[in-house]
Structure 1
Amino acid sequence: MKHAGPYALDQLEPLLAQLRGFGGMVEKKRGVFYRKSQAFLHFHEDPQGLFADLREATGADFERFDVTAAAGRERLLAAAASRLRA
């Protein structure tokens, strides 16, 4: 699964705009967010759709979210907000 390119990120722009409003993370490159010095959130694309990898609460691994549809985007936003508060 490859990292999301410009066209895929264009499709995710409303989601990216919401994520940019969250405190506690920095977008170092379009669609690639860091928390402190550690990668926190990034996006992938493949023929099955668009996906986000969000660092797990333990900090050890990433959890994958299907963000092709609105329901998955809402789940990602909720999980990211929760992990940033922790």
Structure 2
Amino acid sequence: MRHARPAALDELEPLLAQIRALRGLTEKARGVFYRKSKAFLHFHEDPAGLFADVRLSADFDRFRVQTAEEQAALVGLLSRHLND
């Protein structure tokens, strides 16, 4: 699984815009978000689709973000996690 290339990030631009609107995250590079000084969220592409790696604890958890429903679920998860 490779890190998302520009074309894949272009597909995710509406999702990226929603993530950019969340408080507490800094986008260090396109599609790479930090929370405070720690890497928090980045994206991968795979033949199975697009995925987000999110640090919800000590390790990253992977979430599929290929569909609008999966993307909405990710934004909800991020919102809840950031507001805790």
Moved more, 71-80 or 24-33: 71-80
TM-score (normalised: structure 2): 0.96
Partner of 2:60: 62
Identity over aligned pairs, percent: 60
- Secondary structure, counterpart of 2:39 in structure 1: strand
Segments of 5+ residues of structure 1 without an aligned counterpart are none
Superposed counterparts of 1:1-86, under 5 Å: 1-56=1-56, 59-86=57-84
Q: Which runs of 4+ in 1 moved over 6 A?
A: none
When normalised by structure 1's length, the TM-score is: 0.94
